[in-house]
């Protein structure tokens, strides 16, 4: 046990401000969140930061009232220290410092990417998985080795979620685009039950153990411009990029000899990706796990959970060491818990 009270987690790396909790035993409680959805264009870091500042008091109050808590029930304050957009991270960190000081509760800065992994492990009950971490900004295949989550393969350009968001935005759909692409692809599949007959040709994203998505984005946009049905392009796009991720994940399972695959990050909400992972894992006598969707997308609860784990290992963050790190990497954080 890290303490006798609740650990608050504050997530603010990009589009979403979220407050979540774990109890004294590290058990997660659902987050209270709000996401910026620009009318046009992508996420502007400064505007997202302004949004986070504006919504923080209301969300924090809502979290406390939903869980029937008083501020003093919070005995530790965890926040996303990085990676992410500088202005957004700075707002989250300053909210965390403020609450920590006011409540005289220790502050714990945590690694956002590791938080995605740890909430998944807790929710799915798997011990030592290969991770397929697929979000807006990140696409990584990860395995734990000698006290770190090592990145075995990752995107060489943009994250898979950003690619889906950009594709959807070009078709006039606002952020987040991934769910729209999923819906259009599955609607198209209903009308075209044997899509293998006319799947569209696109570049393939695998580069050794790494991945790349910008070429496939350009090619998909061209297909739509050239008059291919949008649903068919969405379906082909998903098939290509998810197959690429699953291929790298399979190779990671094979190289490491591990038997569990764990999905994490916002794109892990996608049912087709979940199905592909299930098929691959079962074909190699392994198991695939995916956390509940509310814990795949960015959420404060995962930050609270990692803060709780860190504190149980005796690690807290002094105010003078609480500066954000936009470029924090998954493998920079020591993993000392079982």
Q: Binder to ligand ATP among 31, 135, 317, 322 (CB under 6 A)? A: 135
Minimum CB distance to ligand ATP, residue 47 (Å): 15
Told to check if 298 binds Fe ion by CB under 5 A, we report yes
Calpha distance 135→96 (Å, rounded): 24
Calpha distance 287→275 (Å, rounded): 12
What is the crossing angle of helices 214-225 and 230-256, to 10°?
160
Told to check if 310 binds Fe ion by CB under 5 A, we report no
Binding track, positions 72-91, relative to ligand ATP; x by CB under 6 A: ------------x-------
Tell me whether strands 148-154 and 139-145 are parallel, antiparallel or unpaired: antiparallel
Give all strands of the β-sheet with 130-134 in edge-to-edge order.
148-154, 139-145, 130-134, 260-264, 287-289
Interacting span for ligand ATP (CB under 6 A) from 21-29, 86-94, 160-168, 303-311: 160-168
Is the CB of 118 or the CB of 298 nearer to Fe ion?
Answer: 298
Binding track, positions 132-151, relative to Fe ion; x by CB under 5 A: ---x----------------
Q: How many residues lie near Fe ion (CB under 5 A)?
A: 2
Is the CB of 75 or the CB of 270 nearer to ligand ATP?
Answer: 270
> Which partner from the list Fe ion, ligand ATP, none does 302 bind, CB cut-off 5 to 8 Å by kind?
none
Told to check if 250 binds Fe ion by CB under 5 A, we report no
Is the CB of 21 or the CB of 269 nearer to ligand ATP?
Answer: 269
> Which partner from the list ligand ATP, Fe ion, none does 297 bind, CB cut-off 5 to 8 Å by kind?
ligand ATP
Chain centroid to Cα 27, Å, comes to 19
Minimum CB distance to Fe ion, residue 331 (Å): 17
Told to check if 38 binds ligand ATP by CB under 6 A, we report no
Told to check if 286 binds ligand ATP by CB under 6 A, we report no
Question: Which residues make Cβ contacts (< 8 Å) with residue 17, sequence separation at least 6?
Answer: 10, 11, 33, 34, 35, 51, 52, 55, 56, 59, 91, 92
Minimum CB distance to Fe ion, residue 29 (Å): 19
Dihedral sign computed on CA atoms, order 269, 273, 279, 282: negative
Task: Give DSSP secondary structure letters for 280-293.
Answer: HHHHTT-EEE---G
Contact 220, 202 (CB under 8 A): yes
Q: How many residues lie near ligand ATP (CB under 6 A)?
A: 27
Contact 157, 213 (CB under 8 A): yes
Told to check if 138 binds ligand ATP by CB under 6 A, we report yes
Helix H or strand E encompassing 110:
strand 107-111
Told to check if 159 binds ligand ATP by CB under 6 A, we report yes
Question: Which residues make Cβ contacts (< 8 Å) with residue 103, sequence separation at least 6?
Answer: 71, 72, 74, 75, 77
* Positions that interact with Fe ion (CB under 5 A): 135, 298
* Positions that interact with ligand ATP (CB under 6 A): 13-15, 84, 112, 116, 135-138, 159, 161-162, 164-165, 176-179, 182, 265-267, 269-270, 297-298
């Amino acid at each position: 046990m890290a303490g006798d009270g609740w650990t608050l987690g504050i997530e603010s790396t990009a589009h979403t401000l979220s407050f979540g909790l774990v109890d004294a035993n590290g058990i997660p409680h659902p987050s209270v969140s709000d996401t910026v959805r620009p009318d046009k264009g992508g996420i502007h870091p400064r505007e997202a930061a302004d949004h986070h500042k504006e919504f923080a008091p209301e969300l924090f109050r809502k979290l406390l009232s939903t869980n029937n808590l008083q501020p003093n029930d919070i005995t530790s304050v965890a926040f996303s220290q990085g990676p992410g957009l500088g202005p957004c991270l700075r707002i989250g960190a300053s909210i965390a410092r403020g609450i920590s000081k006011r409540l005289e509760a220790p502050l714990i800065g945590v690694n956002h990417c590791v938080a995605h992994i740890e909430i998944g492990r807790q929710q799915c009950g798997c011990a030592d998985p290969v991770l397929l971490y697929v979000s807006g900004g990140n696409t990584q295949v990860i395995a734990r080795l000698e006290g770190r989550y090592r990145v075995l393969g990752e995107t060489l350009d943009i994250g898979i979620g950003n690619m889906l968001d950009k594709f959807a935005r070009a078709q006039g759909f606002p952020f987040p685009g991934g769910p729209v692409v999923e819906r259009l692809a599955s609607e198209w599949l209903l009308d075209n039950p044997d899509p293998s007959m006319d799947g569209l040709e696109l570049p393939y994203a695998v580069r050794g153990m790494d991945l790349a998505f910008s070429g496939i984005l350009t090619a998909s946009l061209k297909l739509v411009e050239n008059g291919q049905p949008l649903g068919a392009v969405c379906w082909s796009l998903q098939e290509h990029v998810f197959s690429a991720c699953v291929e790298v994940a399979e190779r990671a399972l094979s190289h490491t000899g591990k038997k569990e695959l764990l999905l994490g990050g916002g794109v892990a909400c996608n049912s087709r990706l979940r199905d592909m992972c299930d098929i691959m894992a079962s074909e190699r006598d392994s198991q695939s796990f995916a956390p509940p969707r509310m814990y795949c997308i960015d959420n404060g609860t995962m930050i609270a959970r990692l803060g709780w784990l860190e504190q149980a290992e005796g690690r807290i963050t002094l105010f003078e060491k609480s500066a954000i790190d936009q470029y924090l990497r998954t493998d920079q954080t020591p993993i000392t818990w079982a």
